[in-house]
Amino acid sequence: MRKEDLVYRAIEAREMSYSPYSKFAVGAALLTSDGEVYLGTNIENAAYGLTMCAERNAIFNAYCHGVTQDDIEALAIVADTDLPVSPCGSCRQVLSELFPHDKEIYLANLKGDIKVVKIEDLLPYSFDSDDL
Ligand code: THU
């Protein structure tokens, strides 16, 4: 799948955002090697700290369907930002454990800008299970 098509699926996911507090809608789409796409969007709560980000919802959604690191091909994340969206620190930490380090992450905005990164670019020198 072309990265633009995965970003388009993330834009579709973004339309389902529940973000009445921040009004900042984010969408994510995770592609597996068998061509399945798992969507995620940000879901907020009046108790703000309970909010879950789009990219974490996408990767948790995939894992809930039996997907593992070996199955994952790419992840697209999109928001209405000037520059391609920058994932929050919590999502970087979760992705560094669950998302394969050799696969690409497409950071995008609604203007069509796409920045291609790997998790190592987003979270170098990460804390992981080897540190325990
Ligand atoms: N948000 C995401 O969904 N992903 C990120 O990486 C950054 C932040 C959401 C959380 C909250 O609903 C809104 O964006 C504003 O922080």
What's 36's domain CATH number? 3.40.140.10
Rg (CA), the chain: 14
- Sheet of 37-41: strand order equals 37-41, 26-32, 72-79, 104-109, 114-117
Which of 88, 93, 99 is the best mutation target for the ligand 1 pocket, counting ligand atoms within 8 Å of the beta carbon and taking the most? 88
Q: CA 92 to CA 126: how far, in whole Å?
A: 9
pTM for the model: 0.98
Could you say which of 4, 44, 55, 104 is catalytic?
55
**How many angstroms is it from 53 CA to the middle of ligand 1?**
5
Number of domains in the chain: 1
pLDDT in tens, 109-124: 999 999 999 999 999 9
**Does residue 26's CB lie within 6 angstroms of at least one atom of ligand 1?**
yes
Range of the domain at 44: 3-131
119, with CB counted inside 10 A (0-12, 13-18, 19+), is buried
pLDDT in tens, 24-78: 999 999 999 999 999 999 999 999 999 999 999 999 999 999 999 999 999 999 9
User: Could you tell me if the CB of 90 is within 6 A of ligand 1?
Assistant: no
